[in-house]
């Protein structure tokens, strides 16, 4: 089994019953810590729509538990949602 790391989900496409998820990593600009990091696609996951919905439901359950336990706040979730919408635009 291979393990992959991604900083974020960059793109999501649905074609029929197939979902294509593009994940990316942040690439820092060498020698310039103040520069805005660039992203590059690290890998792509293609899965059936049914599996995607099941995975989404599982993630939603985890986020609700993290909110209930105080690990996340609604501000964290709102900020992450806004960042994702901005990246998708």
Instruction: Count up the domains in the chain and report the number.
Output: 1
25 domain residue, yes or no: yes
Domain residues for the domain of 65 are 8-88
38 domain residue, yes or no: yes
74 domain residue, yes or no: yes
Residues forming beta bridges with residue 15, ordered by sequence position: 18
44 domain residue, yes or no: yes
pLDDT digits (tens, 9 = 90+) for 19-65: 999 999 998 767 766 777 788 999 999 999 999 999 999 999 998 99
- Pick the closest to residue 9 from 20, 19, 22 (CA basis): 22
Do 9 and 22 meet the contact criterion of CB atoms below 8 Å apart? yes
What is the per-residue DSSP string for the chain? ------SEEEEEEEETTEEEEEEEEEEPPTT-TTSPPEEEEEEEEEEEHHHHHHHHHHHHHHHHHHHHTTSS-HHHHHHHHHHHHHHH-
CA 25 from centre of chain:
10
2 domain residue, yes or no: no
1 domain residue, yes or no: no
Q: What's the whole-model pTM score?
A: 0.72
Confidence of residue 84 (pLDDT cuts 50, 70, 90): low
């Amino acid at each position: 089994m291979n393990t992959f790391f991604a900083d974020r989900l960059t793109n999501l496409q649905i074609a029929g019953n197939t979902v294509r998820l593009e994940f990316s990593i942040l690439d820092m600009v060498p020698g310039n810590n103040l520069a805005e990091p660039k992203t590059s696609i690290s890998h792509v996951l293609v899965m059936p729509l049914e599996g995607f919905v099941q995975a989404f439901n599982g993630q939603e359950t985890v986020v609700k538990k993290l909110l209930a336990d105080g690990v996340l706040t609604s501000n964290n979730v709102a900020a992450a949602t806004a960042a994702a919408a901005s990246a998708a635009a």
